[in-house]
Each structure stands twice: as C-alpha cells, then as structure tokens.
Amino acid sequence: MKRPHRRIHFLFWIVIAPITALVGYFSWQMRPATPFTELPPGIETISDASTDTSESR
C-alpha cells in the first residue's frame, strides 16, 4: 500500500516555498522608508483621522 499524498506533499513545497519566499522578499523591499508608526505626531494624527488604518499597524 502506498502512503498517500507523499508526492503531493513534495510538489507542494517545491511550488509554495519559492513563491512565498520571492513574494515575501519583494514585498518587504517595498516597505516605506519611514514607517508611519514613526511619522511626526502631527502627520500621524492627520493620517489616523483620514484613513483610520494606522492603528492596526
């Protein structure tokens, strides 16, 4: 009897690992030079008020 999924398991890592590594690396390269958590307080306040997205960072 064969052990199921053995080849699928291997193929999965061959496909998913390089894709995730490349996408992750290039996404990280596109990070802002100055993280908005470190923006001056005034700008951070404006950003919070207008988009309401920065708190979740």
Partner 1 sequence: MGHQYKAIQWNGNKIVYDLYVLASTGMFITIFMITGLATQPGGHPADPVILFIRALGVTAFALLTVILTIGPLARLSPRFLPMLYNRRHLGVTMFIVASAHFGLALFWYHAGGPLNPLVSLFVSNPQYDSIPGFPFESLGFVAFLIIFVMAATSHDFWLNNLSAPVWKALHMLVYPAYALLVMHIVLGALMTEKSMLYPIMTGGAFLFVSGLHLYAGFGEWRADNGMKSLKAKGWIDVCAPLDIPDMRAVIAPLPKGDRVAVFRYGGKISAVTNACRHQNGPLGEGRVIDGCITCPWHGWQYRPSDGISPPPFTEKIATYNVKIESGRVFVDPKPNPPGTRTNPALIDMEGASL
Q: Which parts of this chain interact with partner 1 (CB under 8 A)?
A: 1-10, 12-14, 16-17, 19-21, 23-25, 27-28, 30-32, 35-38, 51-53, 55-57
Angstrom distances, CA of residue 12 to CA of 4, 15, 17, 20, 32: 14, 5, 8, 12, 32
For the bound state, the minimum distance from the C-beta of residue 34 to partner 1, rounded and expressed in Å, comes to 9
Per-residue CA distances from 33 to 6, 20, 45 (Å): 43, 23, 19
Q: How far is the CB of 16 from partner 1 (least distance, A)?
A: 5
Minimum separation from the CB atom of position 47 to partner 1 (A):
11
